[in-house]
Structure formats: structure tokens, C-alpha cells
Amino acid sequence: MNPEQKQYKTEWDLKLLYKDEKDPKIEQGLKLVESECDSFEKKYKDSDFTSSADELLKTLNDYEDLSKKAGEEKTSYYFYFRKDLNSEDNIAQAFSTKVSNRMTKATNKLVFIDIKLSKIPENKQKKYLKDKKLKKYWYFLEKIFKNAKHVLTEKEEQLVGLLSQTSYSMWVDGQEKLLTSQTVDYKGQKLPVQKALSMISELPKNDRRILHESLNKVFKSISHFAEAEINAVYNFKKVMDERRGFEKPYSATILGYENDEKNIEKMIETVTKNFKISQRFYKLHAKLLKEKKLSVSDRAVKIGEIKKKFNFETSVSIVGDIFHKMGKEYGEIFYRILKNGQTDVFPKKGKSGGAYCASSYNMPTFILLNHNDDIRSLETLAHEMGHAVHGERSKVQSIFYQGYSTATAEVASTFFEQVVLSEIEKYLSNDEKIILLHNKIMGDISTIFRQIACFNFELELHQRIRKEGQLSKEEIAKLLHKHLESYMGDAFSVTDDDGYFFVNWSHIRRFFYVYSYAYGQIVSRALFENWKKDKSYIKKIDQFLSAGGSMSPDEIFKKAGINTNDPKFFEAGLQSIEKDIEKLEKLSLKMK
């Protein structure tokens, strides 16, 4: 155990933000933001601050100072976290809505900044992007200029901000609240849905299939609300895309994630054309499980047991030591987050499922887990702590660049996850190494092929709703059924009810977010291979981690020697997975 490891907390200490909803600092913070936004608007809205580099520099410096002051206000995060801990926290729900409305109203006063910047003539844009006085803002300006043609009028932008709460957020929050309130009957217990989902792959065949069918029934029973929700938020996006001039449903996301659209389309096409790789794996998966046909409930089942149980204490010891060996600062970040009550570890009724890491300017980084004492939970700890390291290292950047592309974020998390898994392998028997390799490939298949199948499903869902107005829950389920089969292949028997998983699949509410998983996994594999060959490569990786959002993902990885613009790059990444499958096919013949 690393000497830095001390007693840690397993529940969030939200008092790191505020005492409770009555904390006077909440109102003080909100009033400060409102006042600063009001003052900035009065000072600059009617000024011609884009007329010269000097005027623009002065304005952007003040805008950066304003952003720092606004960054002190953490109320939105506080109530968001409370809701994720308890979906029945109606006080947090109500405050969250009120705070969101106030913040939207305040920040709407700053909409004019992006609008005026986007209206700078193209010849002046080029001039400003070369002016050394503005060097620290070059990438900030470049992003605005790229998005310029999609910017609406000031009044329209303000209205979009106001309507997104009622036309998107409330629908999605309502669906999440309904979902987390559901339980599943299992052997005399009433399990929270997310708890049941997290344990299903660990059960014996008959038990997991029964539980899987029970979950499908729950999803189907509440699909009437999900039908209304999906149609509402997808139509809202349709209206926004048309008004902004985005030709394709995914264009806004790819632009927002700072990727090149043609490159991402090529990646989607490449992965889809190679679904034969995931189908090949699942045929082997079925063979190793001694099954002629697999149920969807068998998708993530292990082919054998790794004897060691990874309870949270064990996971902390393993992951923490590995992080510390990779870089002292990574270990310090890891243990600080645990000791300070910034990690909520175990599942419980009403708590949001899955896992995430939330990092923001001048705010403690918070991690949500649903630890279940298995190796997947250990991987998740490494994954989310990878996000945390990325967030903390990026704080060396100015406030404009501390945030980073979602596509870039997934690279950091999956890289750290791969490092941890490679280190664990040293302590396993030969059979367990085969099991671990199987699990690793299964993770790659899920992160790349499953997510691209989800992307394809989501795209067709958007296209059909845009053409037909809306789809019934039965039609949505049928569509998902088709795309599940596309990457799973003949090894699976996918039922009609399996399509109702759309009720639970939160990613399809984050419009095309899923491509970033595939992108991140393929890039992180390349980083990992380079690091494995030469441990000094960690310096290049740290440059990426501390780059934040100061340049595009393509440029960040180019500096690490990885060319994501090369059409052959993603093909090579998929071929490396196929080689792992070939290795598993050979090794599996030697299993006891």
C-alpha cells in the first residue's frame, strides 16, 4: 500500500460546496454572478470592441476575469449532485430549476459576446488569429469563428437558453426520476434498477436471464413516458438544428467536441464496415460459454472467475499504487479525492446509475461510482480517476482552456483503465490471464462497436422522427432491436423486448455523445502501446493531460505522435483488436 494512502470516505461530502439549501453563500454567489454579468453587459454591449486588436484584448481580458468570478458559483453542481444521490430529493429538484432559470437569465446578458465575435469579417478573423497580442486567445477565437455561421440573433440565443430547460432538461430529468424510482423483484428482494443491471452479468445463466426479462418488463411498463420524452427532445433538437443551419443531426455535436466531421464520419463508416470483428468475438464468446445461442443478458458475462474479489478497499490499494508509480502527482490526486469525501462509492435506491467524474474551475472534483466488488468496478474506478487526473492537470491552463473536448476526455480515462488492467495481469494465473484478455476484448467491443451501433441507431431515430414527426414506443424498440443485431450477429437471439432498453440508455439523450467513446478508446490504445514500449512516453501523455482545451484534439494528439487525420489510423486500431481475438482463440484451446 502506498504510504500516501490514508482513511478515505465512501460518500460525497457536499458541504465542500455548501452546508445545505439554506446556506447564505448560495444566494451571495448567485447575486455576484447576476451583478457581474449585468455590469459587463452595460460596459461592452454597445461598444465596438471588435474594431481593433487592442480593444478586443481588453474586452477578452475582462471577460476572462468575469468567467473566473462566475466560476466561484457552484450552486448548479450542488443541486445536480444532490439529485443524483437521491432522485426523490424534491427540494434539490425545485432549487435546481430556480437556479437554472436565474443563471440562464444572467448569462443570457453575455450572449452578445459570441454573436459580435462571430460577426467579425473573415479577413479580420484571419488577422486576429495571427496577432501576437491575442495569442492566448487564438484557439478560443478560432472555435467561435468556426461556429459563426450557426449563431442566431441575440434574442434567439437567449430564447434557446430559456426553452432548453422546459423543452429538454425537464423531460430528461422526469424520465431519469421515473427510472430510478423503479425496482425489480428478484428472489424476494426489491432491487433498484441500476443495481440489478450492474449485477446481472455476475449471475448464473438461469438467474440472469430471468432478471434480464424482469428488467425488460420494467422498461416496457414505463416506455409510454420515454416515448413522449424521446419524441419531445428529438423534435426540439430538430427545430434547433434547422434554425442554426446544421445539415446533419450529429453535426452540432462533432463541431462542439472539436473534431473534424469528415474524419468522424470515416471512423463511423470504418467501424460499421468492421462489425464482423465484434460478431467474430461474440461467436467465440458463445463457444467459451458453451452456448449455441446467446441472450442479450449474456453479452457481458465472463468466461470464468478471477478468484480475487475486488472490494473497494482492494481496488483503492491496487489502482492508487499504479497511479502513484506512473507519476507522483497522479497518486496525490487519487488519494486527495478519496480522503476529502469527493467520491460516492456504493449503489442505493434513488441514486443515479453508472459512473461519472465532474470537474470544473475552482471546484473540487467529484466522482460518482456504483461499486459492486468485481473487476469491472475496479476498471471503473481507474476510468473515472483517469478523468479526475485529466481535470486536475488541466487546471494549469487559463479558465478558458481548463475545460476540454468530450472526445479528448474519454482518451484520458480509457488510457488509465488500460494501464491498470495490464498491471493486474502480472498477478494472475494462466487461465485468469485468458479470462482477463477476454474481458479486455469484451470491453473494447462494447466501447467501440456497441457505441457505434448506438450511434447508428440514434441517427436513424433522429432521421425517422424528422421525417415522420414522431415514433411510437414499439417502433423505437423495433429500431433498437435492428441495430443490436447489426453488431452482435448470429451468435445472439435478440428478442422484441430487448429493444425497450432505449428507455434506460441515457446516452441517446446526449445526442451522439457515444462516438466519443469509440474515438477515445482507439486513440488511448495507441497511447498505451507507445507507453508500454517506452515508459518515458508518460511525459508526452502528461502534455496531453495538461493541455486541457487549449487546442483541438487532433493537434493535441499530433504532439504526442498520433495522427488521427490519417484514414488508416482507425482501421489499424480495429485490426489490433482483431489480433487480440486471434490470440484469445488460440489461448482458449489451452484452458483447463
* 328-356 pLDDT tens trace: 999 999 999 999 999 999 998 899 888 99
Percent of the chain with pLDDT strictly greater than 90: 81
Percent of the chain with pLDDT strictly greater than 70: 99
Q: Residue 591's pLDDT band (boundaries 50, 70, 90)?
A: low
Q: Residue 461's pLDDT band (boundaries 50, 70, 90)?
A: very high
pLDDT at 175 over 50: yes
Query: What is residue 384's predicted lDDT score, i.e. its pLDDT?
Result: 97
pLDDT at 487 over 50: yes
Instruction: Cite the residue boundaries of each domain of the chain with CATH code 1.10.1370.20.
Output: 246-307+429-592
Residue 350 burial class via C-beta count within 10 angstroms: exposed 0-12, middle 13-18, buried 19 and up: middle
- Average pLDDT (147-155) is 90
Query: What is residue 410's predicted lDDT score, i.e. its pLDDT?
Result: 84
Residue position matching grid coordinates 427545430: 239
Query: What is residue 6's predicted lDDT score, i.e. its pLDDT?
Result: 57
Residue 152 has phi, psi (to 5 degrees) of -90, -175
Q: Count CA atoms closer than 13 A to 311's CA, side-chain side.
A: 2
Query: What is residue 1's predicted lDDT score, i.e. its pLDDT?
Result: 45
Q: What is the C-alpha separation between 541 and 251, in angstroms, rounded?
A: 29
Cβ atoms 266, 573 nearer than 8 A: no
Query: What is residue 341's predicted lDDT score, i.e. its pLDDT?
Result: 96
Q: Residue 495's pLDDT band (boundaries 50, 70, 90)?
A: very high
Instruction: Find out if CATH 1.20.140.70 is the number for domain 18-73+89-172.
Output: yes
Query: What is residue 358's predicted lDDT score, i.e. its pLDDT?
Result: 94
Query: What is residue 228's predicted lDDT score, i.e. its pLDDT?
Result: 97
Query: What is residue 5's predicted lDDT score, i.e. its pLDDT?
Result: 52
Q: Residue 279's pLDDT band (boundaries 50, 70, 90)?
A: very high
Q: What is the DSSP letter of 246?
A: -
Query: Per DSSP, what are the bridge partners of residue 492?
Result: 294
pLDDT at 315 over 60: yes
Q: What is the DSSP letter of 166?
A: I
Closest by CA position to 394, among listed 362, 416, 418, 367: 362
Query: What is residue 592's predicted lDDT score, i.e. its pLDDT?
Result: 57
- Please give the CATH number for the structural domain made up of 246-307+429-592: 1.10.1370.20
Exposed e or buried b for every residue in 318-331, given b needs 16+ CB within 10 A?
bbbbbbbebbebbb
Angle in degrees, CA 315, 320, 325, rounded to 5: 135
Query: What is residue 365's predicted lDDT score, i.e. its pLDDT?
Result: 96
Instruction: Cite the residue boundaries of each domain of the chain with CATH code 1.20.140.70.
Output: 18-73+89-172
Q: What is the C-alpha separation between 542 and 211, in angstroms, rounded?
A: 43
Residue position matching grid coordinates 462542439: 256
pLDDT at 3 over 50: no
Query: What is residue 165's predicted lDDT score, i.e. its pLDDT?
Result: 84
Cβ atoms 516, 407 nearer than 8 A: yes
Q: What is the DSSP letter of 396?
A: G
pLDDT at 178 over 70: yes
Query: What is residue 362's predicted lDDT score, i.e. its pLDDT?
Result: 86
Residue 110 has phi, psi (to 5 degrees) of -100, 0
Q: What is the C-alpha separation between 386 and 357, in angstroms, rounded?
A: 9
Exposed e or buried b for every residue in 354-367, given b needs 16+ CB within 10 A?
ebebbbbbebbbbb
